[in-house]
Amino acid sequence: MARLLWWLVGTAFLGTLSGCGSFVRIAYNNADFGARYLTNDYLDLEGEQADLVRTRIDHLHQWHRRQELPKYVAAIDELTLRLRRGIEQDDVAWAADVIQTRYRALVHQSIIEVTPLLDRLTPDNLTRLEKKLAESNATFERDNLQKSAERLRTLTKRARDWLGDLTALQEERLAAYADASAPIFTGLLDERRRRHHAVLEALHTNAPATERGQRLDSLLVHYEQHRSEQYAVTAQAWQARLGTLLLEIESSLTAKQRKHLIDRLTFYASELRVLAREGISASASN
């Protein structure tokens, strides 16, 4: 459930980065509403449960605006500087570390916020959650394992969003990466199912909410510690392949593509500064 909150809040922000500035702000400012809607869809909450979730998600959203958005801005500014001078292997490792650090911070805070709800979950809530997780895994399998051409289209679209028109060589490299990514998605599906089972198992126990929260924190914040040995090897190889792809694409950027990318990053950093200042203003007025 904490991972659900991460996805809800994180994608409500990150997923808007391909839209216009006003849409970024509208989507982020309404992320709490979307999170409440989807959380209810996954758990079918009622009465005091729904009231508690509304309060906790509102608090999570406020925390994210005040604490996390400034760090996103700093990371984008740093990435822009690195892109101007040219990306190397150390820069890819730095970016991966930034993403992981921000992910862990958001999921950890989500678990803190959601812990008071754990004692209030009913068997019906957990049955609903189990059903929705199974549906999400079925969708993941359909979209990522059964539609290899769709993987390439999605990857190419994202690259064009950030870089503009692609060269023939860049498209070839994206195609090779998409073709080679099937094993990671097969392993990831198995890991998703294992992790969902462990989360449901933790929620079904009679342990105090704080202990269940700690178990969720271990499963979802420090997820790599719970990977199977086979998937750990696969994931490491995939991360290395992704890093290689990024370096290949970056080294092949035209002057126009590099400018397009830097301009977009600069624009989004400015949008996030506005959103972060709104959080500071709101805090000062309370």
pLDDT for the residue numbered 149: 77
Per DSSP, the three-state class of 209 is: helix
Distance CA 2, CA 31 (A): 16
Distances (CA, A) of 170 to 67, 151, 266, 274: 37, 16, 23, 34
More confident residue, 248 or 6: 248
Tokens of 118: 């754990």
Place of tokens 């294992």: 194
pLDDT tens for each residue of 64-96 = 999 999 999 999 999 999 999 999 999 999 999
More confident residue, 185 or 79: 79
Tokens of 273: 């500064």
The residues spanned by each domain of the chain are 2-285
Confidence of residue 1 (pLDDT cuts 50, 70, 90): very low
Crossing angle between the packed helical segments 89-118 and 69-85, to the nearest 10 degrees: 170
**Average pLDDT score over residue span 50-59:** 94
Rounded to two decimals, the pTM is 0.87
